[in-house]
Amino acid sequence: MSVGQALPHESAAEHVTGHALFTDDLVHRTPHVLHAHPVCSPHAHARVTRLDPSPALAVDGVVRVLTVDDVPGVNDAGVKHDEPLFPDEVMFVGHAVCWVLAETLEAARLGALAVEVDYEPLPAIVALTEAIEAESFQGGRPVVARGDVEQGLAAAAHVFSGVTEMAGQEHFYLETHASLALVDESGQVFVQSSTQHPTETQEIVAHVLGRESHAVTVQCLRMGGGFGGKEMQPHGFAAIAALGATLTGRPVRLRLNRTHDMTMTGKRHGFHAQWRVGFDDDGRLVALEATLTSDGGWSLDLSEPVLARALCHVDNAYWIPHVLLHGRVARTHKTSQTAFRGFGGPQGMLVIEDVLGRCAPLLGIDPVDLRRRNFYVDGQATPYGQVVRHPERVAVAWDQVVSTGEVVRRREEIAAFNAAHEHTKRALAVTPLKFGISFNFTAFNQAGALVHVYKDGSVLINHGGTEMGQGLHTKMLQVAATSLGIPLERVRLAPTRTDKVPNTSATAASSSADLNGGAVKDACDQITARLREFDEGRDLPWDDLVREAYFGRVQLWAAGFYRTEGIHWDSTRMTGHPFKYFAYGVAAAEVEVDGFTGAHRTRRVDIVHDVGDSLSPLVDIGQIEGGFAQGVGWLTLEDLRWDESDGPGRGRLTTQSASTYKLPSIGELPDELHVALLEHAHEDGVVYGSKAVGEPPLMLAFAVREALREAAASFGPEGTSVELASPATPEAVFWAVQRARGVTCTG
Amino acid sequence: MTEPQITVNGRSRPLVGTPDHTNALDFLRGLGLTGAKEGCAEGECGACAVLVARPDGDGSRWTPVNACLVPALALDGQEVVTAEGLGDPGDLHPVQAELAVRGGSQCGYCTPGFVCSMAAEYYRPDRSANDEPDPEHGPNGFDLHAIGGNLCRCTGYRPIRDAAWALGAPDPTDPLAERQAGAAPAVAATRVAGFARPADLAEALALLAEHPDATVVAGSTDWGVEANLRGRRASYVVAVDRLPELRGLSTDGVVEIGAGLTLSEVEAMLGDTVPLLAQVWPQFASRLIRNGATIGGNLVTASPIGDLAPALLALDATLVLASADGDREVTLAEFFTGYRETLLRPGELLRAVRVPTPLAEHTTFRKIAKRRYDDISSVAVAIALDVVDDTVVRARIGLGGVAATPIRARATEAVLEGRPWTAETVEAASDALANEGTPIDDQRASAAYRSAMLGNALRAWWAAS
């Protein structure tokens, strides 16, 4: 059987040899390609008063400059009609006002430099706090409420308040955005795109071109990472390439270089949260009131659903009787922030973990005990009204981590180490995770697949999900082989394209294996049922059965469909049962902090994570470890900085390259990393009892942040409560250490 | 003169018509060898890493470099191996096989670059079983710093580390292992429109006289970034990194290091001869960068945040500048005249770096950065002290990241010299050190943090000693 086997990625042999093709690798196989280069705004906010492309046309090799006058359809790169593809008012530094097409990338670059644009600068809001001050908001203002917060706080034995701020995060998929568009021999617009959402890319291309969806096909071979950054952001770039191809009759390639990618595309939302919390004498949470404001950037993009998910995850794994959560999306003159692994969940959860981490010393309760005693128990519901199923899994995972990670013994050793070392301190923290699986928006919870059995017994599958490294295709091959009862080698998977499976949802929300796996299995089950009926109990070998069935005029292919049952969501009242189930996990992290510099390293991490019955353990462990590392990057290293000065660079992203924006390298790998999958975790009603794994492990990284907080506190007297900036870079940790020591500091 | 060409995966590929600003990555991809990828175009991510056969004594070494930074023309006459050249999907190289089966690739985009960096470490002749593995060195002697310049956004690195540490020794009949026994390809004397690789120093100086606006490149790790990210273009390029006069190293009396040696070469040739420099290398950029960057290039670019300059300032280094008029020697401290400005005159080349001996007895290098491997310093502090009878008789301190140029911490040196080497002196000197330079707030660090880090450098050293 294939499902449950630990298999390498289906493209591993192609990856390691350089044979796996990505969108931009196709350029060298495509004759007569034109290259596109943007003309980008130097202003954070300005009106375009004049745009003269003619000097560009004088540059050798320049073929055409695409401007708003070229758009036959709708001048919009998004679905909310708030993202003009060619703007007359630029809204962030890097906003493209037009695109130059040329025979070479060099010519296109020089052409872009030659385009003359006049701007009338307008006031710009850059920092999130400026937006809050100016009441610059966009979109809805959702509220999640349960009980009576005022009464809860009034009755609480201990009430604390505070502000928690957290930075965003650059996706930094290694492959930047890329599209290659051409008009084929039948007049179809064919776009190869590095996109997590081929259907929406198709729809945006169609509406920009003024064509119907059936005239546009989008294919995604694979992505060199997505992480949410290619859920909405690719559409406009694909539309530019497609527009260029239709106007010139030649293939057009658009690939952002890293600088463009970082300055032009959206990121994880930074958040600001103001909170009041009440605990009883035993440290049980009684009430929480919080206002969460996300930095949405210049347009809405996915900011509203990201905010909704944030509000739905402030509780994390903890029962809070009285809750009142307000949500707002700030409008700032920055890139339009978007989906990023966790989709607001991490930001919501960071609030409660920050609250607990800060309040534990004030309550005089060990943070390990404080977290453990606030877990949901059977029968309790989330603030938005969904009963938490299997809450005991958090406790089981927790106790396993504490036991196999020898947490009690190691914390004693750490205490001894800290007593003996003045300038170096260690700490070990444990944090839980509960993450809701399904798109909050119910309609997205559907998927399709196409399965062909050929006369020779070989099988070809297509499904609506895209491969970005997460191993979805590996899992789908395993699902198909298992449900058809044939060896994995007999099944091939063809790249995702919109003319095979239409109307797909984004490969997002961790749910692609659930949804597409359900659809693949549905198609396979249909075929199996027909074959079984035809077989009439003869038990023919697969190849014989297929061949005979063909001659018996049995349909050997099927379209599969899946929709998640039992979920509903009222987005106005912010109540319902939006999630099919919750994914659980627990992490314990031990860190060491250097008091002279704030530099830190992670000595050991123990993780127990719930993936249900794993479809593909090697893939799942890869997702757990990779998600954890990305979370550690967000929380401790990756440091997005924008120019918030009043100088000429105002609004500019000052960390717009790999040399200034640092993501984890192998030096950040914990010295020891132990990952276990939670046992006895079968999930009813999901394909082969599995659970989603893409996003949740990112939030295991809170253990590292909390350990850093506790290590910093160890530099001060017993019971010191430490406020730790996010990201907790060495500098941020250094200032936290200084505050713990009682040193007044200027940082 | 032969037509310029590169041998790629055993096959000769003509360079005819390649512009001087075309980097090796774009050249290779233009051949359809799309395994090497562009991830950042500034040598930070390693997705473009390829192997080049470089001299190593009488033999050669497969040396990984960032193809995005090297002009294709700079590889004229050289041998290059890419991930495609190491193995096929049906016949994987041992490095490829280990990565594949252990889940070392997820999206696969960074993977060919990792494969090349790992293959170089796999073939490293002095790699051998290691009885005392630590978090950075595996039981097979594989040093994780070899992949410190390769970024992966998907895996979290654990399976990559496991693959690296599972590697055995190359089979003696492995053609790439065998190749290392032979000499590296001879240096080509390239001369095409816009690009020249002169054969010797005299020819280089003559070319510079002929082309006063020429851009001098060595490893191109700085120029490549300018060309890729900021669109700078040279009117004429003169490559000097293989000039024989710039590639000597002697430790007889004064330590003299040829400016054209790569940092990796200097690291290997010096060993522990200069302990302060031995401390610098593992913290200096990445192996991929050190394989390309030269010691001369690092100093001539005059970056205020270069890591080598503070160390060489603490070592009282001098520079030998060569021109048609002959050599002149200047101190490194006077060499830097302003932000990215030096005493170097038009037509002049940095030929060698000299470190006087005897070396200071007590030295330390402290680099403060956000990331442990391959980051740019917020602050770098190099300290060299001579202590006689518990008294500091001589102090030299070099600083990076706190002024427009690397600087000497002269006020702090004055506080130290003549005082007893005690905790009280360390405190007094630390207070002085915290006030050195003119640190600024930028995306790497705040000015306050930089000053605090200056102040803590001596304290941390004292506490550790």
Quick check: A224 and B459 CB within 8 A?
Answer: no
Residue A31 phi, psi dihedral angles, 5° rounding: -75, 155
Quick check: A21 and B34 CB within 8 A?
Answer: yes
Quick check: B443 and A639 CB within 8 A?
Answer: yes
Identify the domain boundary among B355, B372, B402: B355
Residue A737 phi, psi dihedral angles, 5° rounding: -60, -45
A contact test, residue of B111, B134, B368, B451 with most A CBs within 10 A: B111
Tell whether B424 and B455 lie within a shared domain: yes
Are the CB atoms for A108 and A35 separated by under 8 Å? yes
State how far Cα B463 lies from the chain centre. Answer: 30
Return d(Cα B116, Cα A234) in angstroms, integer. 30
Smallest CA–CA distance, residue A170 to chain B, in Å, is: 11
| Of the partner residues A9, A11, A597, the one whose CB lies closest to the CB of residue B368 | A597
Tell whether B143 and B213 lie within a shared domain: no
Tell whether B325 and B370 lie within a shared domain: no
For residue A746, pLDDT beyond 50: no
pLDDT tens digits, one per residue of B18-64: 999 999 999 999 999 999 999 999 999 999 999 999 999 999 999 99
We report the CATH number of the domain holding residue B79 as: 3.10.20.30
| Of the partner residues B34, B97, B109, the one whose CB lies closest to the CB of residue A28 | B34
- Residue A239: how many CA atoms within 13 Å on its side-chain side? 36
3-state secondary structure of B295: helix
Are the CB atoms for B150 and B119 separated by under 8 Å? no
Query: Across the beta sheet with B215-217, what order do the strands follow?
Result: B191-192, B195-196, B237-239, B215-217
State how far Cα B207 lies from the chain centre. Answer: 26
Tell whether A246 and A197 lie within a shared domain: yes
The amino acid occupying position B259 is A
Are the CB atoms for A101 and A66 separated by under 8 Å? yes
Q: What is the pLDDT of residue B306?
A: 83
Q: Which residues pair with A36 in a beta bridge?
A: A101
Minimal CA–CA distance to A249: which of A192, A197, A184?
A184
Tell whether B198 and B259 lie within a shared domain: yes
DSSP B31: T
Taking residues B93-113, what's their average pLDDT?
98
Range of the domain at B424: 362-464
Residue A126 phi, psi dihedral angles, 5° rounding: -110, -55
A contact test, residue of B107, B287, B377, B378 with most A CBs within 10 A: B107
Quick check: B108 and A222 CB within 8 A?
Answer: yes
Which residues in chain A are contacts of B460 at CB distance < 8 A? 423, 594, 596-597
* B410: Cβ contacts below 8 Å, ≥ 6 apart: none
Domain count across chain A:
3
Residue B409 phi, psi dihedral angles, 5° rounding: -90, 75
* B72: Cβ contacts below 8 Å, ≥ 6 apart: B6, B15, B18, B22, B23, B24, B26, B27
Smallest CA–CA distance, residue B360 to chain A, in Å, is: 25
* Burial (0-12, 13-18, 19+ Cβ within 10 Å), A712: buried
Return d(Cα A719, Cα A721) in angstroms, integer. 6
Minimal CA–CA distance to A103: which of A53, A54, A37?
A37
Q: What is the pLDDT of residue A15?
A: 98
Domain count across chain B:
3
Tell whether A664 and A593 lie within a shared domain: yes
| Of the partner residues B88, B371, B446, the one whose CB lies closest to the CB of residue A731 | B446
We report the CATH number of the domain holding residue A116 as: 3.90.1170.50
Confidence label for B401 from pLDDT (cuts 50, 70 and 90) = very high
Q: Is residue B186 part of a domain?
A: no
> Can you give the length of chain B in residues?
465
DSSP A393: H
Q: Which residue of B has its CA nearest to A697?
A: B156
Range of the domain at A656: 271-439+575-740
Smallest CA–CA distance, residue B181 to chain A, in Å, is: 25
Which residues in chain A are contacts of B19 at CB distance < 8 A? 106
The whole-model pTM stands at: 0.98
Quick check: B370 and A663 CB within 8 A?
Answer: no
Instruction: Please name the residues between 11 and 30 in chain B that touch chain A, using a CB distance below 8 Å.
Output: 19, 21, 29-30
Minimal CA–CA distance to A262: which of B280, B84, B44, B348?
B44
Taking residues B58-81, what's their average pLDDT?
98
Return d(Cα B293, Cα B284) in angstroms, integer. 11
Q: Is residue A747 part of a domain?
A: no
Tell whether B384 and B250 lie within a shared domain: no
Tell whether B348 and B201 lie within a shared domain: yes
Mean pLDDT of chain B: 96
Tell whether A598 and A711 lie within a shared domain: yes
Which residues in chain A are contacts of B225 at CB distance < 8 A? 659
Confidence label for A747 from pLDDT (cuts 50, 70 and 90) = very low
- Annotated catalytic, A695? yes
| Of the partner residues A224, A618, A654, the one whose CB lies closest to the CB of residue B109 | A224
Confidence label for B374 from pLDDT (cuts 50, 70 and 90) = confident
Residue A47 phi, psi dihedral angles, 5° rounding: -95, 135
Q: Which residue of A has its CA nearest to B134?
A: A671
DSSP A46: E
Tell whether B201 and B257 lie within a shared domain: yes
Residue that is written with structure tokens 């497969």 in the block: B62
Q: How many CB pairs under 8 A join A and B?
A: 264
Identify the domain boundary among A535, A563, A591: A563
Tell whether A679 and A607 lie within a shared domain: yes
Q: Is residue A195 part of a domain?
A: yes
Quick check: B376 and A659 CB within 8 A?
Answer: yes
Q: Which two tokens stand for residue A166?
A: 């957290």
Q: Which residue of A has its CA nearest to B27?
A: A28
Q: Is residue B185 part of a domain?
A: no
A contact test, residue of B28, B31, B40, B51 with most A CBs within 10 A: B40
Quick check: B37 and A224 CB within 8 A?
Answer: yes
pLDDT tens digits, one per residue of A134-169: 999 999 999 999 999 999 999 999 999 999 999 999
pLDDT tens digits, one per residue of A645-672: 999 999 999 999 999 999 999 999 999 9
We report the CATH number of the domain holding residue B197 as: 3.30.465.10
Q: Which residue of B has its CA nearest to A468?
A: B107
- Measured CA angle at A352 (ends A351, A358), to 5 deg: 90
Instruction: Please name the residues between 339 and 368 in chain A that touch chain B, using a CB distance below 8 Å.
Output: none
Q: Which two tokens stand for residue A260?
A: 């463009």
Q: By 3-state DSSP, what share of chain A in percent is helix, strand and coil, each rounded to 5?
A: 35, 25, 40
Taking residues A709-724, what's their average pLDDT?
97
Q: What is the signed CA dihedral for A548, A552, A556, A558, rounded to 10 degrees?
A: -150
State how far Cα A239 lies from the chain centre. Answer: 23
Identify the domain boundary among A533, A563, A593: A563
Identify the domain boundary among B308, B325, B355: B355
Residue that is written with structure tokens 């030649």 in the block: A250
Tell whether A669 and A652 lie within a shared domain: yes
Minimal CA–CA distance to A631: which of A433, A459, A481?
A433
For residue B118, pLDDT beyond 80: yes
Return d(Cα A88, Cα A86) in angstroms, integer. 7
Percentage of chain B modeled with pLDDT above 90 = 97
Minimal CA–CA distance to A615: which of A695, A519, A514?
A514
Are the CB atoms for A605 and A628 separated by under 8 Å? yes
A contact test, residue of B370, B373, B450, B456 with most A CBs within 10 A: B370
Q: Which two tokens stand for residue A167?
A: 């930075």
Smallest CA–CA distance, residue A369 to chain B, in Å, is: 29
Tell whether B171 and B243 lie within a shared domain: no
Smallest CA–CA distance, residue A611 to chain B, in Å, is: 17
* Burial (0-12, 13-18, 19+ Cβ within 10 Å), A242: buried
Tell whether B434 and B316 lie within a shared domain: no
Does B460 touch chain A if contact means CB atoms closer than 8 Å?
yes
Confidence label for A745 from pLDDT (cuts 50, 70 and 90) = low
For residue B2, pLDDT beyond 90: no
Tell whether A456 and A604 lie within a shared domain: no
Taking residues B279-284, what's their average pLDDT?
95
β pairing state of A568-570 and A575-577 = antiparallel
pLDDT tens digits, one per residue of A174-183: 999 999 999 9
> Can you give the length of chain A in residues?
747
Q: Is residue A558 part of a domain?
A: yes
Tell whether A458 and A527 lie within a shared domain: yes
Tell whether B172 and B209 lie within a shared domain: no
Tell whether A217 and A278 lie within a shared domain: no
Tell whether A517 and A599 lie within a shared domain: no
Q: What is the pLDDT of residue B1?
A: 55
CA distances from B423 to A174, B54, B395, B432 (A): 48, 48, 16, 14
Return d(Cα B346, Cα A333) in angstroms, integer. 45
Return d(Cα A187, Cα A570) in angstroms, integer. 43
The amino acid occupying position B120 is A
Specify the higher pLDDT residue, B305 or A312. A312
Q: Which of A304, A467, A625, A695 is catalytic?
A: A695
Does A746 touch chain B if contact means CB atoms closer than 8 Å?
yes
* A97: Cβ contacts below 8 Å, ≥ 6 apart: A39, A40, A41, A48, A51, A86, A87, A90, A117
Quick check: B100 and A13 CB within 8 A?
Answer: yes
Identify the domain boundary among B293, B326, B355: B355
Does B232 touch chain A if contact means CB atoms closer than 8 Å?
no
Smallest CA–CA distance, residue A319 to chain B, in Å, is: 32
We report the CATH number of the domain holding residue B395 as: 3.30.390.50
| Of the partner residues B86, B444, B453, the one whose CB lies closest to the CB of residue A597 | B453
Identify the domain boundary among A234, A264, A294: A264
* A452: Cβ contacts below 8 Å, ≥ 6 apart: A459, A460, A461, A556, A557
Does A665 touch chain B if contact means CB atoms closer than 8 Å?
yes
Tell whether B124 and B10 lie within a shared domain: yes
pLDDT tens digits, one per residue of A267-302: 999 999 999 999 999 999 999 999 999 999 999 999
Q: Which residue of A has its CA nearest to B28?
A: A28
Return d(Cα A536, Cα A522) in angstroms, integer. 21
Q: Is residue A685 part of a domain?
A: yes
Tell whether A246 and A288 lie within a shared domain: no
Which residues in chain B are contacts of A223 at CB distance < 8 A? 107
Tell whether A100 and A201 lie within a shared domain: yes
Taking residues B295-319, what's their average pLDDT?
95
Q: Is residue A544 part of a domain?
A: yes
Tell whether A498 and A596 lie within a shared domain: no
DSSP B21: T
Does B67 touch chain A if contact means CB atoms closer than 8 Å?
no
Does A725 touch chain B if contact means CB atoms closer than 8 Å?
no
We report the CATH number of the domain holding residue A514 as: 3.30.365.10
Return d(Cα A652, Cα A334) in angstroms, integer. 8
Which residues in chain B are contacts of A470 at CB distance < 8 A? 106
Q: Which two tokens stand for residue B399?
A: 């600083």
Q: Is residue A146 part of a domain?
A: no
pLDDT tens digits, one per residue of A1-34: 699 999 999 999 999 999 999 999 999 999 999 9
Which residues in chain B are contacts of A16 at CB distance < 8 A? 83, 87, 92, 95-97, 99-100, 104-105, 108, 111-112, 115
Q: Which two tokens stand for residue A520?
A: 């693949």
Tell whether B134 and B230 lie within a shared domain: no
Instruction: Please name the residues between 619 and 648 in chain A that touch chain B, using a CB distance below 8 Å.
Output: 619, 621-622, 625-630, 637, 639, 641
